[in-house]
Amino acid sequence: MTTVSIKDVAALAGVSPGTVSNVLNRPEKVAGSTRDRVETAIRQLGFVRHGSASTLRAGHSRTVGLSVIDIGNPFFTDVAAGVEDLASERGYAVILGNSSGSPAKEERNLLVFAEQRVRGVLITPSGADPRRLAMLRERGIAVVLVDHPAERPDQCAVAVNDVAGGSLAVTHLLAGGADRIAYVSGPASIRQCQDRLRGAGRALAAAGRDPAELRELAMPAMTAAAGQQAALTLLAEDALPDALFCANDLLALGVLRGLLQAGVRVPADVSLIGYDDIDFASASAVSLSSIRQPTYQLGRAATELLLDECDNPATHAHQQVMFQPDLVVRESTR
Amino acid sequence: MTTVSIKDVAALAGVSPGTVSNVLNRPEKVAGSTRDRVETAIRQLGFVRHGSASTLRAGHSRTVGLSVIDIGNPFFTDVAAGVEDLASERGYAVILGNSSGSPAKEERNLLVFAEQRVRGVLITPSGADPRRLAMLRERGIAVVLVDHPAERPDQCAVAVNDVAGGSLAVTHLLAGGADRIAYVSGPASIRQCQDRLRGAGRALAAAGRDPAELRELAMPAMTAAAGQQAALTLLAEDALPDALFCANDLLALGVLRGLLQAGVRVPADVSLIGYDDIDFASASAVSLSSIRQPTYQLGRAATELLLDECDNPATHAHQQVMFQPDLVVRESTR
DNA sequence: CAGCCTGATTAAAACGTAACAATCACATCT
DNA sequence: AGATGTGATTGTTACGTTTTAATCAGGCTG
């Protein structure tokens, strides 16, 4: 009800408001004895700093905006966890925006971020809006792209090397004696699917095989249902591939289910590997080999770059960080 | 860089700052022609309102805080999606706090919320801190409990009826001819596990059976690994139950895997049902029957109550909303 | 035509904090 | 003793907006 301000604290501690502000922001500037007096006054009154007043006067806030494409996707959830953890450690609050794949919603989120005068924005852009982001930067809001290549050199970005991941997966399949390999993919518009495909091709080439041998089966969605559909398609053909690389784990789980129901043995008849290493990959009937991405680290690293750009604008060097994925071998591959 | 203020807009439109504020907040108060003039000036200058200044002067913000226990858990992710959607529709920003089960972290989040002067807080409390929440309310911050019973009558809360859910599950098992039923549960400290157990007991009683017949197996965690462990424990005993009710889907998926590996047929030998209906329930080798909770709706409803309390404090009536869960029948039960 | 009402606009005073220049107390040096 | 320096503290101003009371321009009534 009655909001207690810095003045009340000052009055109780027998000191000026400016001094209270100093113990809050630059404690080393104030003598030990008065600092103690002020701090007990703060505790006694239950004072908590008015963030908006602080932001207004100081010209910058202690919040960052996080805009993700789908908060329901474990990938983004893990990223968000990394962002939230580091931001919280550094005393920043995180404003969450979920674009749900809608450019309009994304734009609305960016507007909210601008109104809140966030210090910086972490975003996995979906709508094509390089202008929007430039606008934020003109307003002094730092921007870091997450799981998306930088659009200009003076910009930070973090991503995971999907080409390397595709290569890891197919190299592993080949090492297990795979001969005829198929790639079960998602929509062609998704960059990650394309990159993983290129990586798969490179692995074949490195083994002295023709990348064109790789059978590609592109599904309209990257869900378990789509994966099961893919399995049916493959089963209807003359000969089954002896190894399958799926563009994500949901597809792989669907494929797995479809194959097992048809009596195909995994991995005896068909080797199967997914991508993302979601929690449920290890919980399926035949635990799933997969490619793990350092998702949580991705979020942390992006936040680290963002806060560095905010707090040390003079020395900050823009970087494009590329993480490397890992192979996780479980039961589904030979 | 150069931040454009309400004054600049006023100057360009040939009007006073107060009028600009009016077209922003009470457009009906200003004549059509001047409104147009102001609006084009706003667009022309790319003006966006300074949220902090607004909050400072108006005494309240357009943000709400959301504190969850584990952002990695699909349950909370869905809740968060519901919260974010409605808040965004109403022009509110959501500040995310992830307590990761740590009371200290939770407390820190609440402090951040207080500093930001959020309008209200949505929280699934973990640390026992009724005092903390009372403190927020004293500061004029509304609080709604999510998936947790109200601690006092003058408080809003939303939850899902776990007793009914437990009852639904066991009634379904009994209808399928189950005789010897076991309940694979999580830590006894978790209210949800207890409530679901009570529901299971009631279903037995309603069928004229003794609730004490229900075998309970409490695992230390509610993960797939714990579920697999539970399966091993059951398999080591003289006789296997002919039906299993698991306190969540992760446990159920683990149990399923353990049983299949031991050659037990599901559902022919053992009926199996989980709880939560997570996405992966339908993707397992034998798709999982489960109890679905309206998770997204839970988040939306909680936000609805919160915003009503904020925007109509006079007419607002505190409510405890209880949602009802649904039975989802798939392949794992007879 | 005076008086009054109505609707539109404005001037001015806050809101709580940070920052900077100014002041002060006091010790040290010449 | 006087000058100088140092470290601690304070007074004041400005941040951008909302809000209230006051002003103003017209139209209507009697």
Q: pLDDT of A87-114, one tens digit each? A: 999 999 999 999 988 889 999 999 999 9
Asked if the structure places residue B55 within a domain, the reply is no
Contacts 24+ apart (CB under 8 A), A27-30: none
Is B328 inside any structural domain? no
> Residue B15, Cα to own-chain centre: how many angstroms?
47
Mean per-residue pLDDT, B27-52? 94
Whether B56 is in a domain gets the answer no
The predicted-structure confidence for A20-55, as pLDDT tens digits, reads as follows 999 999 999 898 899 999 999 999 999 999 999 999
**How far does A289 lie from chain B, in Å, by closest CA?**
15
Question: What is the predicted pLDDT for the residue at B62?
Answer: 95
State the average pLDDT over residues B148-174.
95
Mean local confidence (pLDDT), A115-134: 88
Q: Could you list the residue range(s) of the whole structural domain that residue A10 is in?
A: 6-49
The answer to whether residue B186 sits within a structural domain is yes
Q: Which helix (H) or strand (E) holds A233?
A: helix A224-235
Which chain C positions have some atom within 7 A of a protein CB? 7-12, 14-21
Residues A145 and A155 in one domain: yes
Is the pLDDT score of B127 beyond 80?
no
Radius of gyration of chain A (CA): 26
CB A61 within 8 A of CB B63: no
**DSSP H helical ranges for chain B:** 6-13, 17-25, 32-45, 51-58, 74-89, 103-115, 130-138, 162-175, 191-206, 224-235, 249-261, 295-311
- Name the percent of chain B lying above pLDDT 90: 80
User: Smallest Cα–Cα separation from A154: which of A320, A302, A18?
Assistant: A320
Confidence of residue A1 (pLDDT cuts 50, 70, 90): low
Both A18 and A100 in a single domain?
no
A282 and A178 part of one domain = yes
Q: How many Å apart are CA B31 and CA B27, to the nearest integer?
A: 8
Mark whether B20 and B169 lie in a shared domain: no
Q: Do B98 and A81 touch (CB under 8 A)?
A: yes
Residue closest to B52 by CA, chosen among A284, A331, A93: A93
Q: H or E stretch including B120?
A: strand B120-123
Split into its structural domains, chain B has a count of 3
pLDDT, one tens digit per residue, over B278-302 is: 888 887 878 899 999 999 999 999 9
Question: Rounded CA gap, A65 and A118, in Å?
Answer: 6
Task: Count CB atoms within 10 A of the CB of residue B31.
Answer: 10
CA nearest to nucleotide D16 C1': residue: B53
Dihedral sign of CA atoms A91, A95, A98, A104 in order:
negative
Give the model's pLDDT for residue A110: 95
| Average confidence (pLDDT) over A8-23 | 95
How far, in Å, is the CA of A59 from the C1' of nucleotide D8?
26
Q: What is the dihedral of CA B291, B297, B303, B304, to 10 degrees?
A: -130
Q: Are A138 and A219 within one domain?
A: no
The answer to whether A50 contacts B56, with C-beta atoms less than 8 Å apart, is yes
Asked if A280 lies within 8 A of B253 by C-beta distance, the reply is: yes
Query: Does residue A332 surpass a pLDDT of 70?
Result: yes
Q: Which residues are paired to A184 by β-bridges?
A: A217, A246
pLDDT digits (tens, 9 = 90+) for B55-98: 999 999 999 999 999 898 888 999 999 999 999 999 999 999 99
One domain for residues A156 and A168: no
Same domain membership, residue B303 and residue B223: no
CA of B31 to C1' of C3 (A): 26
- Tokens linked to B70: 């584990």
- Per-residue model confidence (pLDDT) at position B314: 83
Calculate the angstrom distance between C1' of C5 and CA of B28.
Answer: 20
- Whether B329 maps to a domain, the answer reads no
Q: DSSP of A75-126, one letter per residue?
A: HHHHHHHHHHHHHHHTT-EEEEEE-TT-HHHHHHHHHHHHHTT-SEEEE---
Domain contains B54: no
Mean pLDDT throughout B178-203? 94
Neighbours of A25 (CB within 10 A): 11
* Residue A332, in any domain of the structure: no
Residues B74, B148, single domain; the answer is yes
Distance from CA of residue B304 to its chain's centroid?
A: 13
Let me know if residue B311 belongs to a domain.
yes
Overall average pLDDT of the A72-78 stretch: 89
3-state secondary structure of A176: coil
CATH number at residue B30: 1.10.260
Task: Return left, alpha or beta for A16; rule: phi > 0 is left, psi -120 to 50 is alpha, else beta.
Answer: beta
CB contact at 8 A, A63 and A87:
no
Q: Residue A246 carries which side chain, given as an amino acid letter?
A: C
In angstroms, the CA B45 to CA A280 distance is 50
Interchain pair B51, A85: CB under 8 A? no
- Give the residue carrying structure tokens 């998702």: A295
Pair A220, A281 in one domain: yes
Give me A154's structure tokens: 């003076």
Mutation target for B interface from A3, A60, A70, A116: give the one with most B CBs within 10 A: A116
Residues B12 and B98 in one domain: no
> Distance between CA atoms of B72 and A76, rounded to whole angstroms?
10
Does residue A128 register a pLDDT over 80? no
Q: What are phi and psi of A321, to 5 degrees?
A: -95, 130
**Whether residue B149 sits in one domain with residue B175:** no
> Which of A320-324, B103-107, B200-204 has the weakest average pLDDT?
B103-107
In terms of pLDDT, which residue wins out, B132 or B200? B200
Token representation of residue B296: 């997204």
**In the 10-69 stretch of chain B, whose C-beta falls under 7 Å of nucleic acid strand D?**
17-18, 21-22, 24-25, 47, 49-50, 53-54, 56-58
Nearest to B245 by CA among B202, B189, B308: B202
CA distance A270 to A241: 7
Identify the residue among A52, A109, A260, A287 best suited for mutation to test binding to B, counting B beta carbons within 10 A and taking the highest: A52
CA distance A34 to chain B (A): 24
Q: What is the pLDDT of residues B198-240, one digit of tens each?
A: 999 999 999 999 999 999 999 998 888 899 999 999 999 989 9
More confident residue, A282 or B116: B116
DSSP string over A127-167: S--HHHHHHHHHTT-EEEEESS--SSSSSEEEEE-HHHHHH
How far apart are the C-alpha atoms of B66 and A109, rounded to whole Å?
17
pLDDT of residue B44: 95
Contact of B144 with B120, CB cutoff 8 Å: yes
Q: Do B71 and B28 belong to one domain?
A: no
Alpha-carbon distances of A124 from A67, A323, B85, B261, B265, rounded to whole Å: 7, 16, 18, 40, 44
Q: What is the CATH number for A200?
A: 3.40.50.2300
B9 pLDDT more than 90: yes
d(CA A119, CA A90): 13
Q: Does B93 sit within 8 Å of A71, measured CB to CB?
A: no
Task: Determine the 3-state secondary structure of B263 from DSSP.
Answer: coil
